[in-house]
């Protein structure tokens, strides 16, 4: 590990100025991603600005009925918050199904969105990897890629986005608020986590030194009937092979509202808009759910090792929708 200087910021603008002024600078929040990758020589920062003292933790209601979740809110605190549990149960489920209790007590909501991929070649500092060292190639394409993506891939990178939280936020049209030297900005979650394309090393639109200050989840009445289903190789402390975040609302047996996002199968949290279009207005029946899931996954590009994910995701979508359709709170 290289020598790293360390400082604690006391105000957001001070933190932004400190990191923006130093090309080797980066933020340290809970440290659960950053410290491992610094030790492994994957991240090569030489200055860490600890943002743990900034007043960016806490959850408040917005005037429009949504929630504003501070970037430094711990995952465990967000999952336990009564307003999150009541209005957005899928967020609480996604958080509680991630990492371990110890990690969730350290890890922050902002850091969760910016965690790095779990591709073993990315984390092995000597393997070719376009995301870690642009232009070196993608070792996963011809290597071990059982856990890799089948949607949103490119010839340059097929790593899945690892965050469970981001999948729930994608189903809810959340926004990410930031601060940079030139002032505040806000991004729709779809524009915040970028597919690899030709530039897999660019994972988000943030400028160097831009700080996430909050996540805003708009009022979504259908989200009170929502689920996050995560399927993985072991029952805890493991990333998703497939995950589904869904909200469903029925009126007289027909679907009057639906949100669907997939995790574990795509290079970004995958909003299943094709499936949503097919479902809206249709009868809430297993055959309809199945048809919608198949349509969404029709564009999957698989390898011999990860082809099973398409079938797993199809079954997961059907299972979640069947569960929600049988929930009395979702019926009008
Ligand atoms: C063993 C293990 C298992 C895990 N399992 C899961 C899982 O199943 N599901 C899941 O979703 N996650 C999982 N995680 C990931 C974990 O949730 C993240 O490591 C954590 O959320 C990152 O938050 P942090 O505060 O520790 O970020 P840090 O490690 O401090 O930072 C992560 C990155 O974000 C940047 N950053 C942090 N905060 C900000 C900010 N406010 N503005 C701008 N940049 C910022 C940092 O500079 C750094 O690049 C796992 C992690 C581990 C180690
Ligand atoms: S899948 Fe992406 S992260 Fe993994 S080796 Fe290829 S380029 Fe690197």
* Residue 109, helix vs strand vs coil: helix
- Hey, how many other C-beta atoms are within 10 angstroms of the C-beta on 329? 10
Distance 327 CA to ligand 1 centre (A): 33
Say which CATH number the domain at 36 has: 3.30.43.10
Distance 150 CA to ligand 2 centre (A): 13
- Smallest CA separation from ligand 1 atom 5, residue: 99
* Residue 258, helix vs strand vs coil: strand
Distance 265 CA to ligand 2 centre (A): 14
Strand order in the sheet with 211-217: 59-61, 67-70, 211-217, 175-180, 183-188
**Domain around 14:** 5-53
Q: Would you say 113 and 165 are in contact if contact means Cβ atoms under 8 Å apart?
A: yes
For the chain, what is the domain count? 2
Q: With CA atoms as reference, report the closest residue to 149 among 7, 268, 292.
A: 268
Whether the CB of 88 sits within 6 Å of ligand 2: no
Say which CATH number the domain at 265 has: 3.30.390.50
- Residue 19 in domain: yes
* Last-in-domain residue among 53, 72, 87: 53
Whether the CB of 200 sits within 6 Å of ligand 2: yes
- Residue 24 in domain: yes
Q: What is the pLDDT of residues 219-261, one digit of tens each?
A: 998 999 999 999 999 988 999 999 999 999 999 999 999 999 9
Q: What is the pLDDT of residues 172-211, one digit of tens each?
A: 999 999 999 999 999 999 999 999 999 999 999 999 999 9
Q: Mean pLDDT over residues 19-43, rounded?
A: 97
Q: What is the pLDDT of residue 330?
A: 61
* Residue 213, helix vs strand vs coil: strand
Q: What is the pLDDT of residue 76?
A: 98
Token code pair at residue 257 = 């509202």
pLDDT class of 332 with cuts at 50, 70, 90 = low
pLDDT at position 83 over 80: yes
pLDDT class of 327 with cuts at 50, 70, 90 = confident
């Amino acid at each position: 590990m290289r020598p790293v200087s360390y400082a604690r910021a006391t105000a957001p603008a001070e933190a932004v100025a400190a990191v923006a002024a130093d090309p080797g600078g980066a933020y340290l929040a809970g440290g659960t991603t950053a410290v491992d990758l610094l030790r492994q020589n994957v991240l090569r920062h030489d200055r860490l600005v600890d943002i743990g003292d900034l007043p960016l933790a806490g959850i408040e209601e917005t005037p429009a009925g949504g929630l504003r979740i501070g970037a430094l809110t711990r995952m465990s605190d967000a999952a336990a918050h009564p307003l999150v549990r009541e209005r957005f149960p899928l967020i609480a489920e996604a958080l509680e199904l991630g990492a371990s209790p110890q990690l969730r007590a350290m890890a922050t909501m902002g850091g969760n969105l910016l965690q790095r991929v779990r591709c073993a070649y990315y984390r092995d500092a000597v393997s070719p990897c376009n995301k870690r060292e642009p232009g070196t190639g993608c070792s996963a394409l011809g290597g071990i890629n059982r856990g890799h993506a089948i949607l949103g891939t490119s010839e340059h990178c097929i790593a899945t986005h690892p965050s469970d939280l981001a999948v729930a936020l994608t189903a809810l049209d959340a926004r990410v608020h930031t601060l940079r030297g030139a002032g505040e900005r806000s991004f729709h979650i779809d524009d915040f986590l970028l597919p690899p394309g030709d530039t897999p090393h660019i994972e988000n639109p943030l400028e160097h030194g831009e700080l996430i200050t909050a996540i805003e989840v708009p009022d979504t009445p259908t989200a009170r009937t929502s689920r996050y289903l995560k399927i993985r190789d072991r029952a805890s402390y493991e990333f998703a092979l497939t995950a589904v975040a869904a909200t469903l609302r029925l009126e007289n047996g027909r679907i009057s509202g639906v949100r669907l996002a997939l995790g574990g199968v795509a290079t970004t949290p995958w909003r299943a808009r094709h499936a949503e279009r097919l479902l809206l207005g249709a009868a809430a029946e297993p055959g309809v759910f199945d048809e919608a899931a198949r349509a969404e996954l029709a564009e999957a590009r698989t390898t011999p090792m990860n082809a099973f994910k398409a079938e797993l995701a199809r079954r997961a979508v059907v299972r979640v929708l069947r569960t929600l359709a049988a929930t009395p709170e979702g019926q009008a």
